Amino acid sequence: MPVARLSLCAVSKADPKHGRWILPLVIAGLIGFTYLFVNALPPAPVTPTDTTSPAPGTTQPPVDVTTTLPPAEAAFLAAVDDLATRTAAMAEEAQAINTAWDDRTATAAETNAAFTDLSSRSDALAAEISALEVPQPATDAWAGVIGASTEFSDAAAAMLDGFANQPGSGGRLAALDQYGTAAAAMASGYDQARTAATG
C-alpha cells in the first residue's frame, strides 16, 4: 500500500497583502483629524433656561407689569407735575426780569408790567395750590406746599413794591431771594407729596 508523503514546505513570513495595514492607518488619521477639528470649533452659545415656563399641558396667565393708579391719585400727580413746571419757570422768569432791569436792557415801564404780571400769576398759582384736591396720604406734605406758595406770592408782591415804591434795589433783590427760596421749598414739597400719594 503506498504511503502518502506529507510534503512540508517552508512558509514565508513576509505578508504579501500590504493593503491590510493601510486601512487602520487611514482610520487612525481620520480620528486624529476629527479630534483636532472639533477642538478648533468655537464653543456653542449657551441658551438660558426659562425656569418660568409652564408645565406641559398647562397654561400660564400673562403677567401684568403695569401699575394703574386710582383716577384721583393719577389726576393729583398730573396736577403736581404741571404746578412744579410752572413754579420753576416763574422762578427763572423773576430772575430774568431783575437781571434785565439791572442791566438796563428793559425800560422801567416794561419792568413794572413784568413784575405786575408775575405777581398776579403767583397769586393765582397759590390759590390753585390751596384749592387742589389732595389724596389723604399726601395731605401733610401738601400743607407744606401751601405754606411755601403763600411766601411765593408774598415775595412776588414785594418785588413789585421794591421796584415801584422803594429807593435803591435792596428791597427788590431781597424779595427775589425770598421768591427763589419759596420756589425751592415748593419743589421739595411737590416731591414729598408725590411720594406720599404713590406710597
Global pTM? 0.66
Mean pLDDT of the chain: 83
Give me the residue label for grid cell 400660564.
60
Q: Is the pLDDT of residue 146 over 60?
A: yes
Percent of the chain with pLDDT over 90: 63
Q: Is the pLDDT of residue 9 over 60?
A: no
Any idea where the domains of the chain sit in the sequence? 71-198
93-124 pLDDT, tens digit each? 999 999 999 999 999 999 999 999 999 999 99
* Cα distance between residue 166 and residue 16, in whole Å: 128
Residue 63 CA from chain centroid, whole number? 22
CATH 1.20.120 applies to domain 71-198: yes
What 3-state DSSP class applies to 16? coil
- Three cell numbers at 181? 427760596
Residue 113 to residues 81, 93, 104, 139, 160, Cα–Cα distance (Å): 28, 13, 15, 36, 9
User: Tell me, what's the pLDDT at 64?
Assistant: 43
